[in-house]
Amino acid sequence: MSLLVIGSVAFDAIETPFGKTEKIIGGAATYISLSSSYFTKNTNLVAVVGEDFPQNKIDLLKSRGINTDGLQIKKGEKSFFWSGRYHNDMNSRDTLITELNVLENFDPILPESYQECEFLMLGNLTPATQKTVIDRLKERPRLVVMDTMNFWMEIAMDDLRETLKVVDVLTINDEEARQLSEEYSLVRAARKIMAMGPSFLIIKKGEHGALLFHQNEVFFAPALPLEEVFDPTGAGDTFAGGFIGYLASTEDVSFENMKRAIIYGSVMASFCVEKFGTERLESLTNEEIQARAKEFMKLSQVELEMI
């Protein structure tokens, strides 16, 4: 089994009510692959950065066992840069700056050794680039998971609709689900979005957990109430990395197993928000992950007597 991850690898500048960062590393694929690396040692990254991207951060990814053969470094160009400011509730944010830079003309070249991927995670990128990756794989992976955001709904809706037709799972947040479906009720929104292509839909609700939809079924995973939330940036990507990493490691893409996978996704996201940027994800231990998974189990387990 192997996992292919594509998405942005970037610089971010973040403002939260607790502080502000200079340019730090971020990007959807950075968070996804760091997170999935705790579940599978077979994560293959496809992304692009500029010459300004620090080598020690690429080494960090490698030290987590992530294959960076598919990471292009463009001489004389600048990495993707994103800046955001969180509101006081930390559940919503404004994008202040999006500089596509190297992403503007990104041609996702897949090393031959990546061809056998069974699990594909299409992290946040232009929907057209996401689709190119599927087209360039000689065999369709067993499971294709896609993440996207409002930015692409606003500037690339037609491409987004085309890509949606060929994926199995879509992960988006509640606001984006409403925007994409033009429905307020998330149940109706889910039905409409699944009719666009993906047979599974995950709606992320930040500190209020995540919903997994499939046909007429729905499953809810809570988020852990945390004492310290410093920076929610990357929580959605970290969630996706834990989700697909767990599925890849168990090689089971059933709805039942996806329920477990969204709990592991939530476990990983709960670590991500505890520090700025990727810091908390850089050196977790299996013991920490298992201990938190147990906290999740305790959080909503209850025996009910029928009245």
> Which residues, numbered 139-168, are part of the site for ligand AMP (CB under 6 A)?
151
For ligand AMP, which is the closer residue by CB, 233 or 270?
233
Asked whether position 180 contacts ligand AMP by CB under 6 A, the answer is no
Integer Cα distance of 20 and 230 in angstroms: 10
Asked whether position 27 contacts ligand AMP by CB under 6 A, the answer is yes
The one among 58, 203, 235, 262 contacting ligand AMP by CB under 6 A: 235
Residues 6+ apart with CB under 8 A from 247: 119, 143, 253, 257, 258, 261
Q: Which residue stretches of the chain are H helix? A: 28-36, 55-63, 127-136, 150-155, 157-164, 174-181, 186-195, 235-250, 255-272, 286-300
Which of 199, 9, 12, 28 lies closest to 103 in space, CA to CA? 9
Asked whether position 268 contacts ligand AMP by CB under 6 A, the answer is no
Which of 150, 204, 145 lies closest to 180 in space, CA to CA? 150
Asked whether position 5 contacts ligand AMP by CB under 6 A, the answer is no
Nearest-approach distance from CB 305 to ligand AMP, in angstroms = 40
**How many chain residues bind ligand AMP (CB under 6 A)?**
16
> Which residues, numbered 72-111, are part of the site for ligand AMP (CB under 6 A)?
82, 98
Nearest-approach distance from CB 10 to ligand AMP, in angstroms = 4
Buried b (16+ CB within 10 A) or exposed e, 180-217: bbebeebeebbbebbebbbebbbbbbbbebbbbbbeee
Nearest-approach distance from CB 192 to ligand AMP, in angstroms = 22
Asked whether position 233 contacts ligand AMP by CB under 6 A, the answer is yes
Please give the structure tokens belonging to residue 22: 């200079």
Nearest-approach distance from CB 103 to ligand AMP, in angstroms = 7
Which of 5, 101, 9 lies closest to 60 in space, CA to CA? 9
Q: Which stretch binds ligand AMP (CB under 6 A): 60-68, 230-238, 253-261, 281-289?
A: 230-238
Residues forming contacts to ligand AMP in the complex (CB under 6 A) are 8, 10, 12, 26-28, 82, 98, 124-125, 151, 233-237
